[in-house]
Structure 1
Amino acid sequence: MYGETQPIEAEALLEKANAMIAEHEDYFVGLEATEVGQNGNILVFRGNYFLDEQGLPTSKSTTVFNVFKFLALQLSAQYHLKQ
């Protein structure tokens, strides 16, 4: 089902993801992946999306979305979550 990807524990994957986030050009303090799930062959990262008081996206929300998308593309090609 996962092709050529390696199995990895969620905690280890979050460590790798957060290291990549810290090196990303769009990084800002507080940007962090706190959860990861598997949806088919795609890894889905979650964390604070920095919504406003009404629950609407802010400029930081767009950055978080784009960085999590980057992680999904990069890491889904290499890993899948251990069952």
Structure 2
Amino acid sequence: MSAPLDIEGPTAPPRANGELVFSEPWESRAFGMAVSLYEAGGFTWPEFRTALVTRIRAWETGPTRDEPWHYYRL
């Protein structure tokens, strides 16, 4: 089983010239851990995506929406 990394659109992983790219090295490692947990059967990819979108939506509509987004602090 491998993560659906070939998807397109707003839920696709960040890419430049076809390669995955991240702003910081820790982001790449965190994404790698998520993919590893997915491949180990810890959750389905839609479950992961839904959980992440839920966290982002809570920030966008919550009282801290004027502060910078830090999903790892939720």
* More contact order relative to length (CA 8 Å, sep ≥ 6): 1
Query: Is the structural similarity TM-score above 0.5?
Result: no
Tell me the TM-score normalized by structure 1.
0.27
Q: Could you say which structure has the higher helix fraction? A: 2
Q: Could you say which structure has the higher strand fraction? A: 1
